[in-house]
Amino acid sequence: MKINPFIKWSGSKRSQAKEIVSYFPKSIDIYYEPFLGSGAVIGYLKPQRAVASDINKPLIELWKELQRDPKSISSYYRKQWNSLQKNGHTYFYKIRDKFNKEKSHMNFLFLTRTCVNGLIRYNKSGEFNNSLHHTRKGIHPDRLEKVIFEWSTVIQKYIFENFDYKKTTQHAKKGDFVYLDPPYFNTGTRYFGAIDHQEFIDYLSDLNKRGIRFALSYDGKRGEKSFMVDIPKNLYKKHILIHSGNSTFNKVQNGKVEKVYESLYLNY
């Protein structure tokens, strides 16, 4: 069963996690997830052994804190949330400025839970630049506390690392499994950690040579328009389109509702 996210994340697989996991192998020695984000898939799968990573350091520090001291996270968020309700928008921007100087994982959580639509966006200087969501108060501390402790119980035996995808899986072997959810090719550099497409293709080829099973979530299509990327056919055995909701953009622009699908590539 899926558990609610404790942190907001752009491109979260929360709504697709059940279907994605249904395609995973039944037997996995060590589960690897090198683009962890909010952990929707690992939270649904709940593997016995896992190595999870992300190049976003405050994010991984937050996961580690969640593992060792969930009470500290809950208490700190409660304090910040109460200060926001008391002081208004100036408090949000005070914390945002502080985060951009210190990169505190505790402040990172607060920002993601109170910024516009929970979208984690950075400017060209690497500074968090999303604004306060004025019409929402952010998740209530009582609700978040329950989610925090539920997650902490699930992840106690997992390893969290602040590595890129190549370093994270360098010791993976046959019997292990890698789930990949990188920033999508057609999002450009809007999200943290955009990757070089050709380097990534070479990496998939290397996983195949090492006999390591993987599942890759990547660009799909919206309505009749395809955003699919050229993944060499020798790198995968199955390509599945998974429904991930409806496009709100076209609904606003012309009243047309278009279904959105994301790709899932399997090499087994």
pLDDT tens, residue by residue, 224-268: 899 999 999 999 999 999 998 887 655 545 567 889 999 999 999
Q: In the predicted model, is pLDDT for residue 65 greater than 70?
A: yes
- The reported pLDDT for the residue numbered 1 is 66
Percent of the chain beyond pLDDT 90? 82
Q: In the predicted model, is pLDDT for residue 190 greater than 50?
A: no
Pairing state of beta strands 238-247 and 225-226? unpaired
Q: At 130, is the secondary structure helix, strand, or coil?
A: coil
Q: Phi and psi at residue 266, in whole multiples of 5°?
A: -120, 140
- The reported pLDDT for the residue numbered 189 is 45
- The reported pLDDT for the residue numbered 8 is 87
Query: Cα 26 to the chain's mean position, in Å?
Result: 23
For 64, the enclosing helix (H) or strand (E) is helix 57-68
Are the CB atoms for 106 and 70 separated by under 8 Å?
no
Amino acid at site 86: K
